[in-house]
Structure 1
């Protein structure tokens, strides 16, 4: 099965998010983290997480990019267990059965994003429309698996010294 995995091309996530996710941890969309918050009141690092973060399933930190990777059955089961525990501890799921159901739903959605070639990079953009969180996912297909050569942004010199 394919599943989103945090990828860190540089150290910007460690400055943009609090907390940042760990490189190579499995990730989910994470929009559930904002259902009880008013996104209009989110500024700084929480606002950045709302607008463009994937949620890691070990650190429960945020990442700008994930890559489509193969997840083993054992790793997938561990993701479900960690998510269920998180839903109980952080969001007050009433019991393990309910928490596991929510974890499965979140993991199924995350896996559905991965119907792309391996190593495809995914980014998310979130906003609120008509009182609901809307997510749009963008795809970047690098040539080969050498992510170090992928340049997402840079500074261009226009020749103007001012």
Structure 2
């Protein structure tokens, strides 16, 4: 199983970056495809889209100047199956994509993935000091159903905070 294609192009307002494709995403070719994943509801409730998109409608994100990529391309059932080396290599590839497409914001969904990919052990949610070229960086909570600490209303509020300044 290979990774899945990015939803990306020039002129993006926000490029969302998942940790890596889950097995269902790899099978379907759609980002955040598992029914329990709260990315699509949080994206809508956070004000980025006028309605809740389905994973198979991911290309519509480009109409809203939004995109999706992943830190690590290799699919897995859980993010904790990935090695630190995969995160570091994924961070390097992510920087290349960001420099190529120059979105206004890169929003990484998962603080641990961000810390591992960029070696910033003390990074917290929200806006980061780091910039990649002219792209500002923001960390959002992981929308996976495994991240039960963040309820959908909390996730939507975190997405809304980025939406308000992007």
**Do Structure 1 and Structure 2 share a fold, with TM-score over 0.5?**
no
Give the number of the structure whose alpha-carbon radius of gyration is greater: 1
User: Which of 1 and 2 has higher RCO (CA within 8 Å, sep 6+)?
Assistant: 2
Structure-1-length-normalised TM-score:
0.32
Higher strand share: 1
